[in-house]
Amino acid sequence: MKKHILITGSTDGIGKLAAIQLAKEGHEIYLHGRNSAKLLSVISEIKTISKNEKIKGFVADFSDLGEVLKMAEQIKYEVPKIDVLLNNAGILKSKNSVNGDGLDIRIVVNYLAPYVLTNALLPSLKKSKTSRIINLSSAAQDTVLKGVITGEVRLSANEAYAQSKLALTMWSFDFAQKHPNIVTIAVNPGSLLNTKMAKEAYGQHWSPAEKGVAILYSLAIDSIHEDKSGTYFDNDRGGYNKAHADAYDEVKIRQLIAVTNEVLG
């Protein structure tokens, strides 16, 4: 059965490569990018490579949560349902360390944006009988400080990135509990894959990008993941495994969600 699949951050890296692979199988693919010219170019490229015309794009800068909400409204209006949401968009190094609201850009793009987008798209996800959410976590996970979420504490790029990825994982587990009919999985697609983000941050890679693409493809459509909601797939260790201990601490999760909702107003 062909699926309606939304992939954020899909104009390059493993998001784009996963989109190509899924498009080749005839699924209806919705791309997201922050630059409309680049997005249109990638849509055209994927249509040509996959021979699939059912490719559409949406533009939003994920460092601006207002744009995220606008994109969600557009998607709800234009897309009949969402079977798979791949929250893939992410940032590590950036010219600006904070967004217009004074929040750390890694916290916003890697955690708050997918939180806002997913909750806004709940009606579209509920229209599918087999909806899945795949949240791109990381091997880099570190205890989340309240002040980092609120913008009162400043950290290095790597520290903020690790906290944003743990926040995303903690929220994934919470979301899975609250929405048992939606399969929600957090995944570390692999450390230092051969992508633009790894090159810009570290100037090297450990594994080919295809390693990450293969697991995103599998998590999106393979039936073996149907009973794995509320879990963490670690592609460095080749299977389902334990995330950071805080991801299983219900008190810390409740505190995180409360602070998050406070920040979002």
Residues with a known catalytic role: 161
Sign of the CA dihedral running 138, 144, 147, 150:
positive
Where would I find the H helices in the chain? 13-24, 36-50, 65-78, 105-107, 113-120, 122-126, 146-150, 157-178, 196-202, 209-221, 250-264
Q: Give the pair of three-digit tokens for residue 157.
A: 């790029």
Please state, in angstroms and as integers, the Cα–Cα distance from residue 5 to each residue in 124, 131, 188, 203, 245, following that order.
11, 10, 20, 31, 31
Residue 72 CA to residue 94 CA, distance in Å, equals 24
Tokens linked to 105: 């850009």
